Amino acid sequence: MDLGVSPDNLEGMTFGPPLPDGRLPLIVVSDNNFNPNQITQFIVVAIELESASGD
């Protein structure tokens, strides 16, 4: 999957509240470590979860 960004130093992730279409936003964050050569990033992708069947 090409997100159009180069993630660097990923440090946290969480699911957000469900979107109107039922997908869940996955929010991933990285910080710049107080380094001017790095950037702080918030990357959000929508995840469609399939229910697991016990069959």
Taking only the tens place, the pLDDT of each residue in 3-29 is: 677 777 889 999 999 999 999 999 999
In a domain, 27, yes or no: yes
pTM tops 0.85, yes or no:
no
Q: What is the pLDDT of residue 53?
A: 63
Question: Could you tell me if residue 28 is inside a domain?
Answer: yes
Beta-bridge mates of residue 2: none
pLDDT of residue 51: 67
In percent, the amount of the chain with pLDDT more than 90 equals 53
Domain contains 3:
no
Residue type present at position 54: G
E-assigned strand segments in 1-55: 10-15, 24-30, 41-47
Q: Is residue 52 part of a domain?
A: no
Residue 35 CA to residue 11 CA, distance in Å, equals 15
Q: Which domain holds residue 21?
A: 10-47
What is the chain's alpha carbon radius of gyration, rounded to the nearest angstrom? 15
Structural domain includes residue 54: no
Q: Is residue 4 part of a domain?
A: no
Query: For the chain, how many structural domains are there in total?
Result: 1
